[in-house]
Amino acid sequence: MKALLIVDVQNDFLPGGALAVNDGDQVIPVINALQDHFDLIVATQDWHPSDHGSFAANHPGRNVGEFIDLNGVQQILWSVHCVQESVGADFHTDLERDKWAAVFQKGTQKTVDSYSGFFDNNRQGDTGLSSFLKKEGATDLFVCGLATDYCVKFTVLDGMSEGFNTYLIADGTKAVNLEVGDYARSIKTMEQHGARIITSKDLIM
């Protein structure tokens, strides 16, 4: 059984947001059209406390884009984004949510970041996404959303390691591209781990 997983389509990752992904809003109509073709749809939501360790603002003297050691895990420092209960953490209002079975929040512990929708970056915290999908009978996981080179990539890799046949819907995702080429590198990494790269046309016929 197939499931659609929508990663972090939140205001802060969209144009005008605190950590805006270029053209991030272009994924919204693609994802809305895809939703008609799935009976099981789940979403993830980046959901940080304001004192989160991934925010450069919480490390005096440090800047966005620098790397630090956050409790033993390498961490890129980001601008303040997706703070719990803020407008930036909300899903875009154009994104249809009527059919969503559940939302899995991540990055809720200030001591560790969570790119994957499944597990924290230190692999300790589990959002419950994998057990939920398995309980619902999902075998094939179709991933879309933001951002290709961070949360989408790590969600796809964990989807594979959790035993799902995992697909990336390429036109349903956009990258941060902190470094030129990050989008292409992340696609290659996902493919090398066995994920299949498709487009929404492969699902909508």
Active site residues: 8, 106, 151
Any alpha helices (H) in the chain, and if so which ranges? 27-35, 129-135, 153-161, 182-192
Cβ–Cβ under 8 Å, residues 181 and 153:
no
- Select the residue interacting with ligand VGL from 5, 20, 46, 158 (CB under 6 A): 46
Encoded tokens for 21: 């992904």
> How far is it, in rounded angstroms, from Cα 35 to Cα 100?
9
Amino acid identity of residue 82, one-letter, is: C
Q: Is 8 in the site for ligand VGL (CB under 6 A)?
A: yes
Q: Is 158 in the site for ligand VGL (CB under 6 A)?
A: no
> How far is it, in rounded angstroms, from Cα 142 to Cα 169?
7
Q: Is 46 in the site for Zn ion (CB under 5 A)?
A: yes
Residue 142's DSSP bridge partners are: 4, 167
Q: Is 147 in the site for ligand VGL (CB under 6 A)?
A: yes
**Which residue, 37 or 59, is less far from ligand VGL as judged by CB?**
59
Q: Is 9 in the site for ligand VGL (CB under 6 A)?
A: no
Q: C-alpha angle 81/146/138, rounded to 5°?
A: 120
User: What is the enclosing helix (H) or strand (E) of 166?
Assistant: strand 165-174
- Smallest distance from the beta carbon of 142 to ligand VGL, in angstroms? 17
- Smallest distance from the beta carbon of 147 to ligand VGL, in angstroms? 4
| Chain residues 53-112 in contact with Zn ion, contact rule CB under 5 A | 107
- Smallest distance from the beta carbon of 98 to Zn ion, in angstroms? 26
Nearest to 136 by CA among 45, 44, 43, 40: 40
Mark the segment that binds ligand VGL (CB under 6 A) among 32-40, 62-70, 87-95, 147-155. Answer: 147-155
Q: Is 146 in the site for ligand VGL (CB under 6 A)?
A: yes
Encoded tokens for 80: 């303040």
**Which residue, 13 or 104, is less far from ligand VGL as judged by CB?**
13
| Chain residues 156-185 in contact with Zn ion, contact rule CB under 5 A | none
| Binding stretches for ligand VGL (CB under 6 A) | 8, 13, 46, 78, 146-147, 150-151
